[in-house]
């Protein structure tokens, strides 16, 4: 059985690396989407840009974005820099990589040299940039893509070098909770605005908006393989909520969590409660799909998922409560 402190640190390594990857991809998609929208129905474009920005936690950059009549390149750059390299931003990529690295130092005996080396290198490269040194949007995007590749290399080291033991279950549980929570938050934030659209294949913003949601959740190609090139709200939402195997669907995430929870040694009250909560969520996602998709029930269900994930996180991130 793992020591509680080791389990907690490994769990947070998984969460922080996943958070860094998610936020990094989010800002890249956001910036590209904003550039794509420039000059196209500015009022609608600004609304879409604001809803995309609102998918991430507030940091103060919103003041330079909300209320604008058109999309400003300076606002896009400020937003990107804040979430890439601003050490004062608790959700910045550099912050998450730094916290993952700190946790890795405390449990060096439980992870491999390959994981440590790649994580250190990803953090070193990104932290070499300063917020006031990035003056060009193209430079910011290049930093983002380089960072994205570094994070994927670290994730590859995790997949290829770590033993599938209890520590692995804790790390992957952290990853699964972070990923599923991000999927729900993005969909929950953006869905009300997107549902205002009436399908119109002549409107370039219609498909651009749905593509940005799927790209933000690394699901565009997976969706196209399943549903072809056509985007409808019902198809996209069902895919992101109920698909059993696409990595960032809510159902896939919940199923993964159940498996990882079963790989943890103890079975105290908190652990049993987490299993019950995840079991109920899995059952609803499998058998109540039409009810969930009915009217306002979709948003209510997503709020329920976020609440349940909070309780599961509390049980797993504090192993002493699980016994």
CA 278/CA 159 separation, integer angstroms: 24
| Model pLDDT, residue 109 | 93
Q: pLDDT: is 201 or 192 the higher one?
A: 192
Q: pLDDT: is 220 or 265 the higher one?
A: 220
Please write the tens of the pLDDT for every residue from 249-304: 999 999 999 999 999 876 677 888 999 999 999 999 999 999 999 988 999 999 99
| Model pLDDT, residue 203 | 66
Please report where in the chains the tokens 């997503």 appear, as a residue: 302
Given a cut of 70, is residue 199 above it in pLDDT? no
Please write the tens of the pLDDT for every residue from 62-111: 544 555 556 677 888 888 999 999 999 999 999 999 999 999 999 999 99
Nearest residue to 49 (alpha-carbon basis) of 27, 81, 20, 24: 27
CA 268/CA 238 separation, integer angstroms: 35
Going by the DSSP 8-state scheme, the letter that residue 61 receives in this structure is: G
What range defines the domain where residue 164 resides? 4-322
Please report where in the chains the tokens 């749905």 appear, as a residue: 210
Question: The whole model's pTM is what?
Answer: 0.92
| Model pLDDT, residue 225 | 95
Determine which helix (DSSP H) or strand (DSSP E) holds 83, and give its type and residue range. helix 73-85
The total domain count for the chain is: 1
């Amino acid at each position: 059985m793992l020591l509680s402190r080791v389990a907690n640190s490994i769990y947070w390594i998984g969460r922080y690396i996943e958070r860094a990857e998610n936020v990094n991809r989010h800002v890249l998609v956001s910036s590209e989407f904003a550039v794509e929208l420039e000059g196209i129905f500015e009022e609608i474009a600004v609304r879409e840009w604001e809803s995309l920005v609102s998918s991430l936690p507030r940091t103060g950059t919103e003041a330079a974005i909300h209320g604008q009549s058109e999309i400003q390149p300076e606002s896009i750059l400020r937003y990107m820099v804040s979430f890439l390299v601003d050490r004062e931003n608790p959700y910045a990529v550099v912050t998450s990589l730094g916290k993952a690295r700190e946790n890795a130092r405390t449990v060096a005996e439980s992870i491999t040299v390959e994981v440590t080396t790649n994580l250190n290198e990803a953090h070193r490269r990104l932290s070499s940039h300063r917020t006031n040194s990035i003056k060009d949007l193209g430079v910011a995007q290049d930093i983002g893509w380089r960072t994205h590749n570094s994070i994927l290399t670290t994730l590859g080291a995790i997949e290829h070098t770590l033993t599938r033991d209890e520590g692995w279950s804790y790390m992957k549980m952290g990853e699964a909770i972070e990923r599923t929570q991000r999927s729900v938050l993005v969909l929950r934030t953006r869905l009300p605005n997107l549902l205002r659209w009436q399908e119109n294949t002549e409107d370039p913003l219609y498909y651009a908006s749905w593509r940005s949601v799927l790209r933000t959740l690394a699901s565009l190609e997976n969706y196209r393989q399943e549903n072809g090139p056509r985007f409808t709200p019902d198809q996209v939402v069902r895919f992101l909520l109920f698909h059993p195997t696409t990595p960032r669907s809510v159902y896939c995430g919940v199923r993964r969590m159940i498996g990882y929870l079963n790989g943890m040694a103890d079975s105290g009250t908190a652990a049993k409660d987490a299993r019950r909560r995840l079991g109920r969520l899995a059952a609803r996602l499998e058998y109540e799909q039409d009810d969930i998709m009915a009217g306002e029930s979709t948003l209510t269900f997503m709020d329920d998922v976020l609440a349940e994930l909070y309780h599961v996180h509390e049980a797993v991130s504090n192993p002493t409560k699980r016994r």
